[in-house]
Amino acid sequence: MEWRRSYGRAPKMIHLESNFVQFKEELLPKDGNKALLTFPFLHIYWTECCDTEVYKATVKDDLTKWQNVLKAHSSVDWLIVVVENDAKKKNKTNILPRASIVDKIRNDFCNKQSDRCVVLSDPLKDSSRTQESWNAFLTKLRTSLLMSFTKNLGKFEDDMRTLREKRTEPGWSFCDYFMVQEELAFVFEMLQQFEDALVQYDELDALFSQYVVNFGAGDGATWLTFFCQPVKSWNGLILRKPIDMEKRELIQRQEATLLDLRSYLFSRQCTLLLFLQRPWEVAQRALALLHSCVQELKLLEVSVPPGALDCWVFLSCLEVLQRIEGCCDRAQVDANIAHTVGLWGYATEKLKSLGYLCGLVSEKGPNSEDLNRIVDLLAGLGAERPETANTAQSPYKKLKEALSSVEAFEKHYLDLSHAAIEMHTSIGRLRSAKFVGKDLAEFYMRKKSPQKAEVYLQGALKNYLAEGWALPITHTRKQLAECQKHLGQTENYLQTSSLLASDHHLTEDERKHFCQEILRFADRQTDSPGQRIILPLHCFAQLRDLHFTPSTAVVHVGGVLSVEITLCSQMPIPVHVEQVAISVHFSIEKNNYRKTAEWLTKHKASNGVINFPAESPPCPTPQSQLPAPELYEVFERSPSDNSLNTTGIICKNVHMLLRRQESSPALETSSGVALDDGAHVLKCSGVTLEPGANRLTFRTQAREPGTYTLRQLCASLGPVCFVVPHLYPPVQYDVYSQEPQLRVEPLADSLLAGIPQKVKFTVTTGHYTVKNGDSLQLSNAEAMLILCDAENRAVIYSNAREKASDVLLRVQSSDKVTSISLPAAPAYHVIEFELEVLSLPSAPVTGGESGVLGMTESQRKHKDSRSAGHCMATAEHKVSIDCPWSIYSTVIALTFSVPFRTTHSLLSAGTRKYVQVCVQNLSELDFELSEGSLVGPDSSADLQLVPLNTESPQRIYSKQSVFFVWELKWTREPPPSLRCHFSVGFSPASGGQLSIPLKPYTYEFQVENFFTLYNVRAEILPPSGMEHCRTGSLCSLEVTITRLSDLLEVDKDEALTESDEYFSTKLMYEVVDNSSNWAVCGKSSGVISMPVAARATHRVHMEVMPLFAGYLPLPDVRLFKYLPHHSAHSSQLDADSWIESDGLSVDKHVDDQPDGGRSRAGAHPAPGGEHRGLPMPRLQALPPGQVVNASVGAQVLVVPSRDDHVLEVSVT
Amino acid sequence: QNYPLYIRSVPIENELKFHYMVHTSLDVVDEKISAMAKALVDQRELYLGLLYPTEDYKVYGYVTNSKVKFVMVVDSSNTALRDNEIRMFRKLHNSYTDVMCNPFYNPGDRIQSR
């Protein structure tokens, strides 16, 4: 039947059931009757009357009466059914036409509503007519019924709303209203509109809740006080019956308690929800209901016997669960644990609290008071409902059983707990599972079975630790500690205790208690040695930092090393620790153990303080254990055009970060800690660790050289050892052994010869102890003196460069050996002292001879100086030193530099000769020169050296030169060569008094061919008729070469030709103008034959042209010896020099003497014949002493030419 | 990461209980988050609603887009707070954002409150 409803509600197909009841006037609803289910919706009058007489006599009256009754009850829904029977018709002859009765009735009663009269013809016959009339009747019946129903329902709803609006009126009763609205719900349920029915109940529910809340807020409705009566019955929800009539009656009678009302309401909701196939909502609602009931009872201040609510909740939970299980299959239940698990948990919780309340959890079992309480509670349950009486597992039975005995309680509680844990775990609510597990552990602890409790506590603790919940950790640990104490797990107990004692979330007293526990244990066990209990240190104290003294952590054998650690005690009270030990691992590193102190010092950058990270922070955050992600930018460019293809960041340590988190490391286990009994242990005994930071110092004497790595830190407290199994970062110190060493080094950059110089002696004693009487034996080098000063002091330093003492040094010198007695010094110290040494110039520095060889000598020096800058000549002295610690002598080479360089030169002025000596100071020091003297080889009277120098001392500054000049005078014919000896006294200009007289500086050299043979004079004459030379015009150059002496020893060479007592030599002249002032016209050189006789003169004329105006120096005129080819005088010359000596013009190089090789070529010109097959003459420059250029320095005035009008103007 | 950043309870006496409660409630938070992830909704509702009721308290949850969880435990008889949790959580979220903006705050550390 389709049902259209008012208020635009969607049409629905409904099934309307109806009862046919015989009409009685009493059944008609009176005004105010709210029963809707029994409401007469439609009144039907059946008549079989066929003839008018009967109709008029009885039926009409009857009908009128019926109609009046209906009207009186304002019921407009009626129907008259006229049953026609053909059989009857036939029996009666005086029948009216068939329609007449119906028409009559229609006329009489159905004014305007003709359809309210229906004809049903021959109902018992099977004919089409009958069928038709039945159909018409039923349709009519349905429509009328529905119409009436709709009308009445609408009216009912309106009435209900009106009633609800009256709820603020004083006399309003919720129960009455409840019954009314429930009627509506019933109707909907009957119509199978469960949704709508549920809405009715929900509305009631909400209304009631609102009143309770308002009551809590002080707005109490009078009717509510009724619900505030004490709870006397707590028999739980009844969900197995669709309608709990018992409760309903209570409500109807307004005798229901809050629990009754709630129970009934929920049972109805539950039924409807189950009809709607929503069992999971039942579970959810149930939980909410139970919570809110408890809340409401509290809010309404209803007095409830202790435990009663727990019973009620427990029963209800189980009832709901069983009800749900009853209507679903196993798989569905399993799939929807998430919805029911709350109820399980709640039931468990309630049973637990019941157990505690009734003393069922304690070891001894319930006492009399508890038993009384149990009896009371059981009484409140009432009798078991008949519908569950047959089921073995009914909630009622369960509760009764659980409360009846300790064992039964345990069984039920465990069942429930395990079920709850299992469910939580299965849906991944691990934390909740752990929480239930913790409760269970508590229970086990009460039952004195700690071994069962431990598992749960450990599990929970692990979970809390992993997620860093400090307070739960503390609490769980506390429980665990107790558990372990009972179990006698000494080690674990002590560890937990230490953790607890260091836990800041506990009160001071609790911490002290746990600390005392440890101490007590430590005291108790002292007499029975044997097993030691090893615990990690971090729960007891934290190693903060470690500090070495010396800070380099490097110590020599026998040296004292101290290690200072900062240990932060976590204990609340001072703890006396018998011993703190650091075990040390010793290793000899093959390559490294001979590291010297210096090396190690250099390479160990740390300042000796090593900080340790907090090993186990009191509240570990899991994040901190993860390494920070290392992110890098990535650019990928296409290889063809280098354009950016891809960019992004990559994480280089993904493997570290994305690694599966292992179920958190077992922090509580100490099994991995093994005490390392190394041979090397640093100890510190009898320490009292105050709470907070403590500094402990370990001292050790280094024995074997090598590397010592600190491995473990162990604080022992009787048999209890707190151990840091591995010190990280690794800490090590090194012990080294060093051989004694002697080092001698100059104090300044370089030692200067000739003056006292300081040399530093450093004795590194190493492992050798210098005794009194030990001395260094220096075998003297010949030319080096060791100056023994009375004031020599030796300073002894310790290894760390701290000055230890300052001792006077005794130096004894014999002519062969100098003995230095060392002051007594312990091992690994440094003795430092300084001695003055003086290098004597062993052999006078020889200067070169003049002439050919002299030149080469100077050139060699030149070459040296050029290759190595202005370096000083050096002298090396080797000293061998015998050290007391060694049978071998140490040979030490000291290099002294000569501070001066001396050169000499011969100066000529006509026939007068001068010797010039140049002393160049190469050192950084200033010197004072005095008493310069030059001595000839044999101080004969015929050769005199007349000094032209000052007598007073002269200062020679660093890098400067001083010149000395002597005139050479002779009376007889001078020797071809002259050996000279130059000496000059010198002393440092800044130096004070010198202890010893210094040796003068000497220089020997040889002057050769100093006698002048030729005089060359050049003269330029202006062209004839002119007063001055002019530029561009030729002038004549006249060169006059004059022989000054007769045949001398030096002339005897190859160039000399003899003919008839008449000697002549061949000379070559050359006019060169290096400054390009002159243009030599014509031949600029030529060979002349010079007679070897005094005043022999040769004149040469040539034309030169001045190129510039002004005073111009004359061109140079050079003179060479012209040696004829001599095959015997061949020399080994390379092609290079040969080519250079090829031709005459080349020979000017000889004068320039740019290079030793070339000059040699000039000096010994190659006989070209050997190479060319053509004999070539050789040239030899005359030594500078033999030629005097008389016109050197002369100048000629050149005036500009007249017609030189050209003015060059360059414009840019 | 389910370690606490900041826990505060008023009053203090039953702190331990609340810690346990909040901790267990994370189960439900996880459940809800994973359910949400499955739903693949773009605009995720941060407010998780009532996580689970207990007898005396209501536990509400809220999770930011960066999976920072807020859990609030409210006395269930406290009607003043009823239906205002979302607003409370918004405020909380704002405060948390402020803390994160503090350059001196090291993410992951416990949050200190004055």
Where does residue A717 rank: exposed (0-12), middle (13-18), buried (19+ CB within 10 A)? buried
Q: Do A471 and B1 touch (CB under 8 A)?
A: no
Query: How does DSSP assign B60-76, residue by residue?
Result: EEEE-TT--EEEEEEET
d(CA A537, CA A675): 12
| Closest-approach residue (CA) in chain A for B28 | A429
Q: Do B30 and A428 touch (CB under 8 A)?
A: yes
The verdict on residue B96 lying in a domain is yes
Q: Do B79 and A342 touch (CB under 8 A)?
A: no
Q: Do B31 and A429 touch (CB under 8 A)?
A: yes
Per-residue model confidence (pLDDT) at position A100? 61
Which secondary structure element, helix H or strand E, spans residue A401, and what is its range?
Answer: helix A395-404
Task: Check residues A807 and A225 and name the one with the higher pLDDT.
Answer: A807
Residue A519 has pLDDT above 70, yes or no: yes
d(CA A482, CA A459): 16
Distance of CA B1 to the CA centre of its chain: 14
Q: Do A424 and B2 touch (CB under 8 A)?
A: no
Q: Do A430 and B52 touch (CB under 8 A)?
A: no
Query: How does DSSP assign A171-190, residue by residue?
Result: T--HHHHHHHHHHHHHHHHH
Per-residue model confidence (pLDDT) at position A536? 76
Taking only the tens place, the pLDDT of each residue in A921-956 is 888 778 888 777 777 766 566 677 788 877 777 888
Who among B1, B19, B77 is closest to A622 (CB)?
B1
Chain B residues with beta carbon closer than 8 angstroms to that of A298: 77
Residue A327 has pLDDT above 70, yes or no: yes
What is the distance in angstroms between the CA of the first residue and the CA of the last residue of chain B?
Answer: 25
Count interface pairs A-B at CB distance under 8 A.
72
Per-residue model confidence (pLDDT) at position A622? 38
The three-point CA angle A82-A87-A90 to 5° equals 105
Pick the range with the lowest mean pLDDT from A205-209, A262-266, A841-845. Answer: A841-845
d(CA A403, CA A399): 6
DSSP A825: B
What is the distance in angstroms between the CA of the first residue and the CA of the last residue of chain A?
Answer: 123
Who among B7, B23, B54 is closest to A291 (CB)?
B54
> Whose CA is closest to A936, among A962, A971, A890?
A971
pLDDT band at A1171 (very low <50, low <70, confident <90, very high): very low
Distance of CA B11 to the CA centre of its chain: 18
The pTM is what?
0.57
| Closest-approach residue (CA) in chain A for B29 | A429
Average pLDDT over residues A1171-1192: 68
Where does residue A446 rank: exposed (0-12), middle (13-18), buried (19+ CB within 10 A)? middle
Taking only the tens place, the pLDDT of each residue in A308-320 is 778 878 888 887 7
Phi, psi of A505, deg, nearest 5 = -85, -10
The residues, ordered by sequence, that sit 6+ positions from A888 with a Cβ below 8 Å of its Cβ are: none
Residue A515 has pLDDT above 60, yes or no: yes
Q: Report the CATH number at residue B45.
A: 3.30.450.70
Fill in the amino acid letter for A965. Answer: V
Number of H helices, E strands in chain A: 30, 52
Residue A52 has pLDDT above 80, yes or no: no
Q: Do B108 and A428 touch (CB under 8 A)?
A: no
pLDDT band at A42 (very low <50, low <70, confident <90, very high): low
> Whose CA is closest to A469, among A509, A434, A423?
A434
Who among B54, B77, B108 is closest to A623 (CB)?
B108
Q: Give percent of chain A above pLDDT 70.
A: 69
Phi, psi of A446, deg, nearest 5 = -65, -35
The residues, ordered by sequence, that sit 6+ positions from A239 with a Cβ below 8 Å of its Cβ are: A266, A267, A270, A271, A319, A320, A323
Q: Do A430 and B2 touch (CB under 8 A)?
A: no
Chain B interface, best mutation among A211, A219, A291, by max B CB count within 10 A: A291
Chain A interface, best mutation among B2, B9, B20, by max A CB count within 10 A: B20
The residues, ordered by sequence, that sit 6+ positions from A335 with a Cβ below 8 Å of its Cβ are: none
Pick the range with the lowest mean pLDDT from A95-104, A534-543, A590-599, A629-638. Answer: A590-599
Per-residue model confidence (pLDDT) at position A525? 61
The verdict on residue B19 lying in a domain is yes
Chain B interface, best mutation among A212, A464, A621, by max B CB count within 10 A: A621
The verdict on residue B86 lying in a domain is yes
Residue A1008 has pLDDT above 80, yes or no: no
> Whose CA is closest to A712, among A723, A722, A702, A721?
A723
Chain B residues with beta carbon closer than 8 angstroms to that of A431: 23-24, 26-27
Taking only the tens place, the pLDDT of each residue in A1085-1144 is 788 877 777 778 888 888 888 887 788 888 888 888 777 665 444 444 444 444 444 444
pLDDT band at A665 (very low <50, low <70, confident <90, very high): very low
Number of H helices, E strands in chain B: 2, 3
Domain, as residue range, for B73:
14-101
Residue A884 has pLDDT above 70, yes or no: yes
Task: Check residues A676 and A435 and name the one with the higher pLDDT.
Answer: A435
Per-residue model confidence (pLDDT) at position A1154? 41
The verdict on residue B114 lying in a domain is no
Fill in the amino acid letter for A926. Answer: D
The verdict on residue B31 lying in a domain is yes
- Reduced DSSP (H G I as helix, E B as strand, rest coil) percent helix, strand, coil of chain B, to 5: 35, 20, 45
CB A723 within 8 A of CB A534: yes
Residue A682 has pLDDT above 60, yes or no: yes
Who among B1, B20, B52 is closest to A623 (CB)?
B1
Phi, psi of A810, deg, nearest 5 = -105, 125
Length of chain B: 114
Across A617-621, A953-957, A1071-1075, the highest mean pLDDT is recorded for A953-957
Per-residue model confidence (pLDDT) at position A1118? 80
Q: Do A469 and B23 touch (CB under 8 A)?
A: yes
Chain B residues with beta carbon closer than 8 angstroms to that of A338: 31
- What is the residue-averaged pLDDT of chain A? 71
d(CA A915, CA A979): 12
d(CA A171, CA A503): 62
Pairing of strands B69-75, A731-736: unpaired
Chain A residues with beta carbon closer than 8 angstroms to that of B3: 467-469, 619, 621-623
d(CA B107, CA B95): 14
Q: Do B56 and A338 touch (CB under 8 A)?
A: no
Interface residue ranges in chain B relative to chain A, Cβ cutoff 8 Å: 1-4, 7, 15-16, 19-20, 23-24, 26-28, 30-31, 52-56, 76-77, 79, 108-110
DSSP A770: B
Task: Check residues A245 and A421 and name the one with the higher pLDDT.
Answer: A421
Residue A891 has pLDDT above 50, yes or no: yes
Q: For residue A985, give both structure tokens.
A: 């006294």
Q: Do A294 and B31 touch (CB under 8 A)?
A: no
C-alpha distances out from residue B52 to A381, B2, B71, Å: 29, 18, 11
Chain B interface, best mutation among A316, A425, A429, by max B CB count within 10 A: A429
Average pLDDT over residues A404-412: 81
For A329-382, the three-class secondary structure string (H helix, E strand, C coil) is CHHHHHHCHHHHHHHHHHHHHHHHHHHHHCCCCCCCCCCHHHHHHHHHHHHHHC
d(CA A551, CA A595): 16
Q: Based on C-alpha coordinates, what's the Rg of chain B? A: 14
What pairs with residue A964 in β-bridges?
A917
Q: Do B53 and A475 touch (CB under 8 A)?
A: no
Taking only the tens place, the pLDDT of each residue in A1042-1069 is 887 776 666 666 666 666 667 777 788 8
Pairing of strands A644-651, A680-689: unpaired
Q: Based on C-alpha coordinates, what's the Rg of chain A? A: 68
Pick the range with the lowest mean pLDDT from A412-416, A835-839, A929-933, A1175-1179. Answer: A1175-1179
CB A516 within 8 A of CB A524: no
Chain B residues with beta carbon closer than 8 angstroms to that of A429: 24, 27-28, 31
Residue with tokens 């004068």: A1151
The residues, ordered by sequence, that sit 6+ positions from A294 with a Cβ below 8 Å of its Cβ are: A309, A313, B55
Per-residue model confidence (pLDDT) at position A39? 61
Smallest CA–CA separation between A466 and chain B, in Å? Answer: 8
Average pLDDT over residues A67-93: 62
DSSP B112: P
Q: Do B76 and A291 touch (CB under 8 A)?
A: yes
The residues, ordered by sequence, that sit 6+ positions from A1084 with a Cβ below 8 Å of its Cβ are: A1070, A1071, A1072, A1102
Average pLDDT over residues A489-493: 79
Average pLDDT over residues A768-789: 76
Residue A1147 has pLDDT above 60, yes or no: no
Q: Do A621 and B3 touch (CB under 8 A)?
A: yes
Smallest CA–CA separation between B37 and chain A, in Å? Answer: 16
Query: How does DSSP assign A429-472, residue by residue?
Result: -HHHHHHHHHHHHHHHHHTT-HHHHHHHHHHHHHHHHHHT-HHH
Where does residue A513 rank: exposed (0-12), middle (13-18), buried (19+ CB within 10 A)? middle
pLDDT band at A1198 (very low <50, low <70, confident <90, very high): confident
C-alpha distances out from residue B114 to A109, B8, B111, Å: 89, 11, 10
C-alpha distances out from residue A169 to A156, A172, A222, A223, A417, Å: 20, 6, 10, 11, 50
The verdict on residue B4 lying in a domain is no
Average pLDDT over residues A396-400: 77
Who among B15, B16, B27 is closest to A431 (CB)?
B27
Q: Do A427 and B28 touch (CB under 8 A)?
A: no
The H-assigned helical ranges of A541-625 are 597-603, 622-625
Length of chain A: 1212
The verdict on residue B109 lying in a domain is no
Pick the range with the lowest mean pLDDT from A153-167, A194-208, A495-509, A1165-1179. Answer: A1165-1179
Who among A287, A429, A435 is closest to B53 (CB)?
A287
Per-residue model confidence (pLDDT) at position A624? 41
Fill in the amino acid letter for A272. Answer: L
The verdict on residue B113 lying in a domain is no
CB A561 within 8 A of CB A700: yes
Total of domains in chain B: 1
> Whose CA is closest to A582, among A552, A612, A625, A614?
A612
